[in-house]
Structures are given as structure tokens and as C-alpha cells.
Amino acid sequence: MADTSSVEKQEPREGIYASSRLERGFIVFTIAIASIGLGYLFFTQLWWKLPPEFGCRENFTRGGLCIFIERSAADAGAGDKLLKANIIESKSGPELSVPIGWATQLNATFIENIVQPNIRWFGYVIWGTEAFIFLSMCLGFFSRLGALVALGMGTQLMIGLAHTSEEWEWSYILIVLLAFAMVGIAPGRYFGLDRLLRPRFKAMRERGSRVGRFLLLLT
């Protein structure tokens, strides 16, 4: 009879379990592609709203970032539904939907009272946030934090623009879903700089550091 006391307990492995090295490599590859793809999406949005003007004209009233901010506020009442599904074509309007009128109104209030009056410096916040998402997702650097920021940014875009008739709502919903998946996966644990940072943060945690424990959550 085997002596069960001699069986060494194995430490739980970090990350996704796979049946073979090839399968794990494929999983890591797909996570990296999804993460870099999300980061590249935000990278492409940096160049049409470069500081210090952010593409705006006429004393920050027209064009560039300003026009999208204005649209988010002006179109708050344009529609109050999301995730619409027209099942029966003979009926007018969607049979399935989620009401978001309260969210679009709150978003418009935030834009009109905080963002628009302070666009000269708030533009840096928006541009810097998107730049951080790009670096975080593509480098695997504080990737869970970057994914959380992308989730917040994507949610704001979805609430502000996805319900309008000029936009395809799923272009924004898919950003939110991909960012949400990256929050759970924390892609930097499989590629990138977080793989180098996490052992140091773990050592800090083992010494009783609350900072180390917090930093582990963000990577």
C-alpha cells in the first residue's frame, strides 16, 4: 500500500492548464494576439487627436476629439436601447433590448459639466489613457490594470455612441467584451513584462507587503 504521506503536494500552477506543451503554446499565442489586438485598436486612435489641440479647431469647438465629445452629449436622447434584436421583421422596433437611457443621460451630464469645459487638459487624460491601454496590452505590462482601463473606456464609448443610428452598436460592445475577457485572463501572465514583475511582487507579498499583494492583482 502506497504511503500517501510521501506524496509531495504540488504547488498549483499559475495560468491555464493544458494537456500538452503544444496546446499551452497555442493558448498563450491566442491570448497574446487578443491582447495585442485590443492594444493596437487603441493605438490607431491616438493619431487623429494628438495633443495639444486633439484635432479640435475654432477654439476647441469643432473637429477632432471635440466633435465626438459633443456627439456623446447631444445624442444622449437619440436612443435609449442597446443589444437590440429584431426577431420578427414585420414588427417595428426590436423585440429584445436593454434600456440604457439613464446611463446615456448620466454620461451626457458628465461630458457637459466636466469634460467639455476642461477639454484643454482633459484631452490629455483621454489621450494618455488610450496610450496606456496600448502599452499595457501590447507589452503585457500591468495588463489587468490596462484591461480594466480599457473596460472603462470602452464602456463610456458604448454608452455615449453605440445607441446612435450612425454607429453599429456591436463595434463598441465587442470592445467591452474583449476588455472584460482580458480583465479575467490578465494576459501579461502569459507573455510580456508581467512575467518578470510578478515574481518580485510575490516576494514582496511573502514578506507581508500589502503593496506587493495589490500589485499582484494589477498584473
pLDDT at 215 over 60: yes
Give the pTM.
0.87
Domain definitions of the chain by residue range: 19-188
List the end-to-end C-alpha distance of the chain, in Å, as a whole number: 44
Q: How many CA atoms does the CB half-sphere of 80 hold within 13 Å?
A: 6
pLDDT tens for 123-177 read: 999 999 999 999 999 999 999 999 999 999 999 999 988 887 778 899 999 999 9
User: In the prediction, which pLDDT does 83 show?
Assistant: 85
Please give the average per-residue pLDDT across 23-46, as a whole number.
95
